[in-house]
Structure 1
């Protein structure tokens, strides 16, 4: 009971400029002398409590220790708490939880958050994200097996720089010691991730390539046009949110997307084939031929007699 009271007093002092001993005593149903002893314990624990004299005197936290509430509005605080709560769940990071508790001391009471974020999608190995984050923050080399887009199996050593969450997947970007160049790896294709005891020097922005992959290929794309039938609309729209969309009277839709080298984009073929009869590629014609061949090859194992 005493510990709960001490914690409650600390948060109240963080949320108020000055509180008198009598006010605290009345709220916690104890004597003012008990509050005096509680304040001594809180001070001994390292919290900078100051005593204010006078008619409106009492106890407060020293200026500069508390974050000024005027710096962040209630919307800012709630949004930060929501985002950090999601990160805390993904990384199981106790330090993030401590930050959340501090933010809650300056946030509005009893306000329901209008934002919810769930980052726990398409998780890879259970320890992969913590290992990668530890490698980034502690400047330690990571090692892992990787399957690239050509389905080649390689073992890599990497100096991780940062984690990305994009396109509903986690990616890690850093300097690949195996290839001696900066690379980005998709976590869902990483296996046997381990954290080495070998360390590396922090990377500066000058070390990284000045042109990112997306920038260099921005003007080297081809338009892919395909028709989506009503039964496949939701899945296609989920996957191609930025596509140009044109609805038709029969409930179908024509989608147009810009793709880098669509004839070599296995991810595009895989997704379009996953829609089955729900989608038909209209352009480019060469992509239609590739999909037809893929379908024929997919049937071969089932055509064998047993």
Structure 2
């Protein structure tokens, strides 16, 4: 994963001093061009990288610069460490282990941290996360059987882009070869996910009216469902008179529709430019 590689490069520069781009490329099994881009990203993040030409040349962190608590306190690192552990998937475990090797104190007082995360997934979902991240890293196509929110079952072959964790649910973003467009798939609705041998070159994202671009939605709820609304839409609510107003975004009309219909007569769609009529029509049945 890119995050793990960036952390690894930073660690090598901190511990080994001057390192050549070729050495870094061999260590992380990527091209020298990729290493140049990574070093540029590290530079942009505020860690000054200096290049030296010649036979003894290479890259190193600027003399006199060090990562102090102004950048990452022990408590900051501990919070990130426990968050990565709670994700309970191999790629994130590798990063948490690397953090622990950087700061051994992360392993102490593990039963005493003030924030406890619980983001664990099912065994099947963890396997899918692992395969999906491998596919992204290796630029390999993936196939799976997918069940939509309406119950439609299709077989998809896709080119993975990334993973989203949103409101407690994992979503996989990819370019779908079946639909010839970017799509967002809910991991829990996937079955028989396979990492294929077919390689691909990442496509530039297109402007697609049916793509994963978020679409705004304005809802009005009755006070009878106040607690549920506050839990499902944190920091997206306003209370006025006897109603609760929610301004949110969604990625898939069918999924948004299922959420709205689950509130029955306690919700009203105030505005939605794409499928407002569809919401009203179905909610009246």
Shorter-chain TM range is 0.5 to 0.7
* Contact 1:160 1:174 survives alignment (8 Å): yes
In structure 1, the partner of 2:262 is: 274
- Mark the CA change 1:163 to 1:273 in structure 2 (over 3 Å): closer, same or farther: closer
What's the offset of the Cα at 1:102?
0.9
In structure 2, the partner of 1:146 is: 146
Aligned match of 1:224 in 212, 219, 224? 219
In structure 2, the partner of 1:245 is: 238
* Contact 1:227 1:282 survives alignment (8 Å): no
What's the offset of the Cα at 1:186?
1.5
What's the offset of the Cα at 1:228?
3.2
- Which of 1 and 2 has greater Rg? 1
- Mark the CA change 1:110 to 1:283 in structure 2 (over 3 Å): closer, same or farther: closer
Question: Which ranges in structure 2 are unaligned for 5 or more consecutive residues?
Answer: 1-60
2:283 pairs with 1:291? yes
In structure 2, the partner of 1:199 is: 199
Aligned match of 1:208 in 200, 205, 209? 205
In structure 2, the partner of 1:45 is: none
Question: Which ranges in structure 1 are unaligned for 5 or more consecutive residues?
Answer: 1-63, 294-306
What's the offset of the Cα at 1:143?
0.6
After TM superposition, the structure 1 = structure 2 runs for residues 27-42 of structure 1, keeping only pairs within 5 Å, are none
SS at match of 1:127: helix
SS at match of 1:225: strand
Q: Using the alignment, how far apart are the partners of 1:260 and 1:116 within structure 2?
A: 28
TM-score, normalised to structure 2, is 0.59
In structure 2, the partner of 1:173 is: 173
2:249 pairs with 1:255? no
- Mark the CA change 1:121 to 1:240 in structure 2 (over 3 Å): closer, same or farther: farther
SS at match of 1:146: strand
- Mark the CA change 1:85 to 1:100 in structure 2 (over 3 Å): closer, same or farther: farther
Q: Using the alignment, how far apart are the partners of 1:245 and 1:123 within structure 2?
A: 38
Q: Using the alignment, how far apart are the partners of 1:178 and 1:142 within structure 2?
A: 12
What's the offset of the Cα at 1:78?
1.6
Partner deviation per Cα, 1:211-240 (whole Å, 9 max, x = no partner): 89565745xx5x3323231xx322122222
Q: Using the alignment, how far apart are the partners of 1:169 and 1:282 within structure 2?
A: 24
TM-score, normalised to structure 1, is 0.55
Q: CA RMSD in A?
A: 4.0
What's the offset of the Cα at 1:99?
0.7
After TM superposition, the structure 1 = structure 2 runs for residues 41-190 of structure 1, keeping only pairs within 5 Å, are 70=68, 72-87=72-87, 89-91=88-90, 95-105=94-104, 110=109, 112-120=112-120, 125-190=125-190
